[in-house]
Amino acid sequence: MNQLKSREPGSVALPGTLSAPLRAELIAFRRDLHMHPELGNQEFRTTAAVKARLEAAGLAPKVLPTGTGLVCDIGTWDRGRPMLAIRADLDALPIPDVKTVPYRSTVPSRAHACGHDVHTTTVLGAGLVLAELDRQGLLPNAVRLIFQPAEEVLPGGAADVIEAGVLDGVGRIIAVHCDPKVDAGRIGLRPGPITSACDRLEVTLGGPGGHTARPHLTTDLVTAAARIAVDVPALLARRVDARSGLAVTWGRIEAGHACNVIPQHAELSGTVRCLDLPAWREAPDLIHAAIDEIATLHRAKSTITYVRGVPPVVNDPVIAELLRDAMTVRRGAEQVEDTEQSLGGEDFSWYLEHVPGAMARLGVRTPGDTTRRDLHAGDFDVDERAIAVGVELFTAAALLDAAPRL
Q: In whole angstroms, what is the distance from residue 129 CA to residue 234 CA?
A: 52
Q: Which positions ≥6 away from 198 have C-beta within 8 Å?
A: 154, 271, 272, 273, 309, 310, 344, 345
Please report, as a single letter, which amino acid is at residue 276. Answer: D
Query: Per-residue pLDDT tens for 6-48?
Result: 445 444 468 999 999 999 999 999 999 999 999 999 999 999 9
Cα angle for residues 94, 96, 101 (degrees, 5° grid): 130
What is the arithmetic mean of pLDDT over 207-222?
95
Report the SS3 class of residue 162. helix
- Res 403: pLDDT: 67
Whether 93 shows a pLDDT value over 90: the answer reads yes
| Continuous H helices in 332-406 | 348-351, 385-402
What is the arithmetic mean of pLDDT over 56-71?
97
Whether 80 shows a pLDDT value over 90: the answer reads no
- Res 155: pLDDT: 86
Q: In whole angstroms, what is the distance from residue 270 CA to residue 228 CA?
A: 12
Whether 230 shows a pLDDT value over 50: the answer reads yes
- Res 199: pLDDT: 94
- Res 3: pLDDT: 42
Cβ proximity of 194 and 342 under 8 Å = yes
| Residue 124 binned pLDDT confidence (cut-offs 50, 70, 90) | very high
- Res 276: pLDDT: 87
Q: Which positions ≥6 away from 39 have C-beta within 8 Å?
A: 91, 92, 93, 94, 110, 152, 153
Whether 185 shows a pLDDT value over 90: the answer reads yes
What is the arithmetic mean of pLDDT over 109-134?
98
Average pLDDT across the chain, whole number: 94
- Res 156: pLDDT: 86
Q: In whole angstroms, what is the distance from residue 264 CA to residue 219 CA?
A: 8
- Res 76: pLDDT: 86
Cβ proximity of 363 and 183 under 8 Å = yes
Q: How many CA atoms lie within 13 A of 286 on its CB side?
A: 21
DSSP β-bridge partners for residue 146: 71, 87
Cα angle for residues 9, 88, 190 (degrees, 5° grid): 50
- Sign of the alpha-carbon dihedral angle for 180, 317, 396, 127: negative
- Res 402: pLDDT: 78
| Residue 88 binned pLDDT confidence (cut-offs 50, 70, 90) | very high
Query: Per-residue pLDDT tens for 294-311?
Result: 999 999 999 999 999 999
The model scores a pTM over 0.85: yes
Cβ proximity of 151 and 349 under 8 Å = no
What is the arithmetic mean of pLDDT over 135-156?
94
Query: Per-residue pLDDT tens for 246-265?
Result: 999 999 999 999 999 999 99
Whether 355 shows a pLDDT value over 90: the answer reads yes
| Residue 373 binned pLDDT confidence (cut-offs 50, 70, 90) | confident
